[in-house]
Structure 1
Amino acid sequence: MPRTLRITTRNATFQQWQALLGNRNKRHQAGEFLVQGVRPVSLAVEHGWEIRALLTSDAPGMSKWARELIETSGAPRVLLAADLMAELGEKDDETPELLAVVGMPADDPTRISVRPKLLVVVFDRPTTPGNVGTLIRSADAFGAAGVIVTGHAADPYDPRAVRASTGSLFALPVVRLPSHREVVAWAGALGVPVQIVGTDERGPVDIAEHDLTGPTVLAVGNETHGLSTAWREACDQMVRIPITGAASSLNAASAATVALYEAARQRRPG
């Protein structure tokens, strides 16, 4: 069994974990983040992420799932007072049974596996953590090899993003890069021709009319302003998603989901 530490007061260690919830700088200085929820915690362990600590409540009783996860992960176990666990769990109605402190991987695009039909999604300067998590979830669902977040953007390791991804953050590489330049350089060095396709409501080509079957980087813009001018210039083609009704545009994560579905549809055998 892994070693166990007990915390019953808001000591320095607890305060450090509490800061991971709402302080982006603290997360990145420590190189770790807090994971909430049965599925996200399970997937973090299953996919071999660095589990720095598993936090459990000192309340009596423990499920089979929690016992097995503690035993198989080999991570240090921390027993927290129930009120402290509830605080870190951020739910008013229940105390979580298990939380995980997880190390961040490097922001290195070589973590993304190069496949014959490579599909990578870029989210440029997203402002909402929930949208980042939703896009990651969709990318996982429709077979993308990875997600790249560029520019000054919402943090993929924000608890709201992690929850919205429902654990998909741990199933495929998510990399943060400063700008389009690093993405273009990475794509150009892969040794295969990669097209960069941007989405825009005023794009000249309907997305269903554009060939997405080859190696593709699919770029989606900021929720308010769309893709930056630099990103538009870097794209080989801009495509639109036709919509009707009173809506003026789609939510960025929704647009990415539609585009990912279209790419998956075109790539379907037969």
Structure 2
Amino acid sequence: MPGATRPTLRITTRNAQFQQWQALLTNRTKRQRAGEFLVQGVRPISLAVERGWTVRHLLHSDGSDGRGLSRWASELVDGLPAGRAALAPELMRELGGKDEEAPELLAVVALPEDRFERIPVGPGLLVVVFDRPTTPGNVGTLVRSADAFGASGVIITGHAADPYDPKAVRASTGSLFGLPVVRVSSHREVIEWALALKDRPQIVGTDEHGDADVFAHDLTGPTIIAVGNETHGLSSAWRQACDRMLRIPITGTASSLNAATAATVVLYETVRQRSGHLGA
């Protein structure tokens, strides 16, 4: 049934329902408990819908500011089997994280399951592991790069920043909805999964003191790239699990690369090699 036939919840005060959605912005525990997160922005919302993610609620302004919905927003509100809520503009502004203007539309989207089965496997496997990242923006940036260079998925290990934090979702510019992202508690789960695969992947880590340059190492086979915490690098457990530690040659006064940047370099080199330019 079109969304227009469904009842619209109208919210003009910071009631319990509003507070529940507001908590999704800042409280990881409540996101996990509710099994949902808040998505802001035209592109991320559009990609979530296109890729078949479950949209539980669509939130829009109640029009008291004189603004109507665009054709894009109207089609989503009327076409998706999701709850519909009209909020006062100032409440939309709070949920949108913008001071100057209330967003036209926000989506409350169901969290996917953290299952390795979501990651497609095979001879072309390319997975990036981010070990204990602390910054949501870096998580989103890494997911964006992994998507851009055709990775099979991203795995977040350990006590880490949440890929469903609004800052991470924004930094991914929608790539979060096009690439499997799986969270696990430790490296052990990743190793067990990798060893059970028919096409066993090599596991390479990145480190400024690695024993081989990334450009000289063969990345054409199934590969897991492990990138460490922004401050401390890879854990000792991950270092022991890696088949090889690779370094990215850098010059200038920089002592190291940002974790997401380092992952991007290795991803690019992997694509270059797999395109048949190894040694070019």
TM-score by length of 2: 0.95
Establish whether residue 69 from structure 1 lines up as the match of residue 73 from structure 2.
no
Deviation string, structure 1 residues 41-78 (Cα, Å, up to 9, x no partner): 11111111110100001123111111122233221211
Q: Report the counterpart of residue 252 of structure 2 in structure 1.
A: 245
Establish whether residue 49 from structure 1 lines up as the match of residue 59 from structure 2.
no
Trace 1:1-270 onto structure 2 (pairs within 5 A): 1-2=2-3, 3=6, 4-59=8-63, 60-269=67-276
User: 2: distance between equivalents of 1:66 and 1:142?
Assistant: 30
How large is the RMSD of aligned CA atoms in angstroms?
0.9
Amino acid at match of 1:22: T
User: 2: distance between equivalents of 1:229 and 1:61?
Assistant: 55
C-alpha contact (below 8 Å) 2:122/2:199 kept by paired residues: no
User: 2: distance between equivalents of 1:178 and 1:84?
Assistant: 36
Identity within the alignment, %:
72
Gap regions ≥5 residues in structure 1: none
Give SS of 2:108's match: strand
Structure 1 runs (4+) greater than 3 angstroms displaced? none
Give SS of 1:48's match: coil
User: 2: distance between equivalents of 1:137 and 1:27?
Assistant: 22
Gap regions ≥5 residues in structure 2: none
User: 1: distance between equivalents of 2:79 and 2:174?
Assistant: 19
User: 1: distance between equivalents of 2:125 and 2:77?
Assistant: 36
Count residues with an aligned counterpart. Answer: 270
Shift, 1:25, TM fit? 0.8
Amino acid at match of 2:60: T
Give SS of 2:234's match: coil
User: 2: distance between equivalents of 1:176 and 1:61?
Assistant: 39
Give SS of 1:53's match: strand
Shift, 1:96, TM fit? 0.2
145-154 vs 185-194, greater mean Cα deviation: 185-194
34-43 vs 62-71, greater mean Cα deviation: 62-71
User: 1: distance between equivalents of 2:253 and 2:100?
Assistant: 38
Shift, 1:269, TM fit? 4.5
User: 2: distance between equivalents of 1:14 and 1:269?
Assistant: 53
Shift, 1:191, TM fit? 1.1
Give SS of 2:10's match: strand
TM-score by length of 1: 0.98
User: 1: distance between equivalents of 2:50 and 2:235?
Assistant: 37
Amino acid at match of 1:74: P
Deviation string, structure 1 residues 105-163 (Cα, Å, up to 9, x no partner): 11111110113210000000000000000000000000001000000000001000000
Amino acid at match of 2:188: R
Amino acid at match of 1:21: L
